[in-house]
Amino acid sequence: MPAGNIGPLDGLLVLDFSQFLAGPVAAMRLADLGARVIKIERPGTGDIGRTLAFAGRVVDGDTVSFHAMNRNKESITADLKVAADLAYVTQLVAQADVLIQNFRPGVMERIGLDYESVRAINPSIVYASATGYGTEGPWRDRPGQDLLAQSISGLPWLSGSHADGPVPVGLSIADHLLSCHIAQGVTALLVRRFRTGEGGHVESSLLESMLDLQFELLSTKLNDDAIRVERHGEHSAHAFLAAPYGTYPTSDGYIALAMNPIPKLGALLELPVLEAMTDPQEAWDRQEEIEAVLAARFGTGSTQSWLDILDAADVWCAPVLTLDELLASDGFAAIRMTQQVQRRGMTISTTRSPLRIDGEVLTSEKAAPTLGEDDERVRAEFPPAGLAVPEKEAAR
């Protein structure tokens, strides 16, 4: 948070039982807004995300990706197969405002920390469950992983050209979207609780996040069964939008064009064949021909030279930046999307929350915790009180 400001979720206690990405990032989003998040981890190994390295990179014994998604949290260890540990965690649950978990369906029930059991000891708790494919149906027990959820949802068939096989999104888009939905649901239930005192249970899944992402396609298909996914040529960026929507090579990079009238582009780029296409239907019927003409023309000049022409005419376009070009750009610097966090004398750079509150960006200097970093302090703050273990199997 900005110096001197109190986060909107300040004073709320969140217990994060989740691993990998979707659950931890949902909890981190709440932490960035001021909530206190205590991560409950297995002794010895902790969150598997500590060792599942993005690009194989590790800093101070944990993966860089773990640092990126667990900032602003505390960590305690508990073996939920051990009665004393389970009893202590149950005591924390009784005092928490929010619980987040992303185990496969049935795991929390076996432990005795499913929503119904938790609600019995803490009626006002907001409980969040993130799964791979929901709690019902033939896919409920499949491994909930991003690529697998993308694949089941059909998403990889929407990118690339008709010459390609399936093209998955090269980032954990299902996990990230699920984290946003879970954080939104938790926040909504907290608002209800502040009004009525009533807690609640929010659930979502990787699959539902992928289906929600495709709301335009699915809604159109549901109302017109003739709709088919038919990808176009190598320059097209969308199976359901006409030319010139796509990316085109220039002499030194690439340029992207969104929806634009073909005759206007023809006039600006001195292409009479396009200038003569005054029937909007031609943008669909002659799509690959139009894209080929544009690609040939853009290849004769630099990206910046074409941006100078198109920007002046208010054409919807942009450069296609590489990772290095993005990081070196003035636009990236202006948006101030990075921050530095501190751990054991080390400075680690991460992204920040994408939100601004009252005109201020949300930043923090607290890094992801080491495994069990807060065991002693949290146990001193919340001393064991002899709470009984839930009468269910204590097993992960």
**Hey, which residues are catalytic here?**
175
Q: Nearest CA to 35 among 102, 98, 124?
A: 98
Give CA separation, 284 vs 223, 227, 243, 271, 281, in Å: 21, 15, 7, 18, 5
CB–CB of 204/181 below 8 Å? yes
Q: Nearest CA to 57 among 373, 366, 349, 324?
A: 349
Q: For 107-111, which contacts have Cβ atoms below 8 Å and span 24 or more sequence positions? A: 107/396, 108/17, 109/392, 110/392, 110/393, 110/395, 111/80, 111/86, 111/390, 111/392, 111/393, 111/394, 111/395, 111/396
- The residues with which 99 forms a beta bridge, in sequence order, are 15, 127
Which residue stretches of the chain are H helix?
22-32, 64-69, 83-95, 107-111, 115-121, 146-153, 173-196, 206-213, 215-223, 262-268, 272-275, 282-285, 287-298, 303-312, 323-328, 330-335, 375-381
- The residues with which 59 forms a beta bridge, in sequence order, are 62
What's the CA dihedral at 148, 154, 155, 157 to 10 degrees?
120
CB–CB of 40/89 below 8 Å? yes
CB–CB of 158/164 below 8 Å? no
Cβ-proximal residues to 177 (8 Å cutoff; 6+ apart), any chain: 209, 210, 212, 213
Q: For strand 126-131 and strand 98-101, is the pairing parallel, antiparallel, or unpaired? A: parallel
CB–CB of 175/207 below 8 Å? no
Give the tokens for residue 204.
């979502």
d(CA 395, CA 386): 20
CB–CB of 374/78 below 8 Å? no
